[in-house]
Amino acid sequence: MTADAFLIATGAFMPGPPIPNARMEDHIGRVNGRDSALGRRALRWNGVETRHYALDDHGVATHDNAGLAAAAVAAALDDADRPSRDLGFLATATTQGDLIVPGHASQVHAALGAPPLELASFQSVCASSLMALKAAVLNVKAGEARLAAAVGSEFPSRWFRPERYEGTDLVDAKGRLPVEAEFLRWTLSDGAGAALVAPRPAADRISFRVDWIDLISYADRFETCMWAGAAKADRFDLSKSWSALGPAAAFAAGAIALQQDFELLKPIIRAWVARYLELVEAGKIDPDAVDHVLCHYSAESLRREIVELLVAAGSMISEEKWFSNLKTKGNTGAAAIFVMLDEFARTRPISPGDRALCVVPESGRAMVGFMMLTAVDGAER
């Protein structure tokens, strides 16, 4: 397959106003009516200052996940000035859709109101974004679609409401949540982002040629690190998953909440870095030739030993090339790379020929994706 594929437009939909740290608990609530002791620590680590919620300040939902995704696709179509009937393929990415069955893409298609088209639903955590984008790119390259959309959307906040934890084994005798559950309440938030993929760049502006997408799983070597559907100690044995226990018993066991194992995260981060070093060593990434890095991990959050190794290994890309809107838009999981691309394309001075490296790590069961984009001026072609 030698044909090109280009990101010709992007769109984002962030529900409601930006919510500052001090007002988060008006939206996600207070477990057992108490302020969270861990919240401040989580915010220091993740560096988020404002985020958006599809919940009002009484915790009532203002949207659904499919609606967020559809709004982002509509914004991207608007950006490209194309009607939804032009879409031949729609790929969706999310961690937790509105329904368990059928696939999220079906609900997004319906919410978008586009005529019949091909669908693909990708469900994972952050890296599902690149699964969807790669599917869109390959469909365009194969000539199966002339215009494809990939969309990432998340609505985790409703899972962070107190009633999703209270009365379960997750709450200790003092009414507190374990760090595994509490941290994510303070880290993840809602939103959606989309990109349109076409075989030719847009005529009137900068597009991004997708040079390659490299997505690799290390589930063969790591235990599950971020999950929902099992109690912490039971997640190694799928015969104890929520599907096996049934929803009521699983809820009581605290198996429904999203959780993160922070100890396991450390070697997984090193595996992500090793994959990057492998791509540099293989000549696929030339750090000096990268003009922009889009990563929803901040450079500051990498530990010193990793930054030192990257520098010594001639592989650190200087911090002024890093673009992120994590601080203002929050960590929106599968939507994050799209939300970032959208703001990047709109606000950064980008010259034709600029190379942008997108990095999408997923802790779930250890996965990491890289995408190389080259800016192309359609008018010049």
Partner 1 sequence: MNELAPISKADEATASCLRRLGTEWADFEARLHATPLVKRLDQGKFRVEDYRALLLNLRQQVKDGACWIARAASHVDEAHFELRSILMRHAATEHRDYKMLEQDFVAAGGQLKDIQSADKNIGSEALSAWMFHEASKPNPFGLLGAMWIIEGLGSMKAKEWGEAIVAQTGLPRAAVSFLLYHGDNDDDHLKEFEAMLRLVAPAPGVADRVVKTARVTGRLYALQIEEIAV
* Contacts with partner 1, residue ranges (CB under 8 A): 218, 221-223, 232-233, 236, 263-264, 266-267, 270-271, 273-275, 277-278, 280-281, 299, 305, 307-309, 311-316, 318-319
Whole-angstrom distance, CA of residue 65 vs CA of residue 190: 9
Give me the least distance between CB of 300 and partner 1, in Å please: 9
| Nearer residue to partner 1 within complex by CB, 61 or 290 | 290
Whole-angstrom distance, CA of residue 43 vs CA of residue 21: 8
Question: Please, are residues 145 and 89 in contact by the beta-carbon 8 Å criterion?
Answer: yes
Q: How does strand 118-123 pair with strand 367-377?
A: unpaired
Question: Please, are residues 196 and 7 in contact by the beta-carbon 8 Å criterion?
Answer: yes
Give me the least distance between CB of 57 and partner 1, in Å please: 37
Give me the least distance between CB of 231 and partner 1, in Å please: 11
Query: Residue 121: what are its φ and ψ, rounded to 5°?
Result: -105, 120
| Nearer residue to partner 1 within complex by CB, 232 or 296 | 232
Question: Please, are residues 107 and 119 in contact by the beta-carbon 8 Å criterion?
Answer: no
Please list, in sequence order, all residues whose beta carbon lies within 8 angstroms of the beta carbon of residue 123, skipping any fewer than 6 positions away. 93, 94, 95, 97, 103, 104
| Nearer residue to partner 1 within complex by CB, 71 or 273 | 273
Give me the least distance between CB of 295 and partner 1, in Å please: 14
Give me the least distance between CB of 230 and partner 1, in Å please: 12
| Nearer residue to partner 1 within complex by CB, 38 or 309 | 309
Give me the least distance between CB of 266 and partner 1, in Å please: 6
| Nearer residue to partner 1 within complex by CB, 43 or 309 | 309
Whole-angstrom distance, CA of residue 341 vs CA of residue 283: 24
- In this structure, how many other beta carbons lie within 10 angstroms of the beta carbon of residue 348? 13
| Nearer residue to partner 1 within complex by CB, 128 or 224 | 224
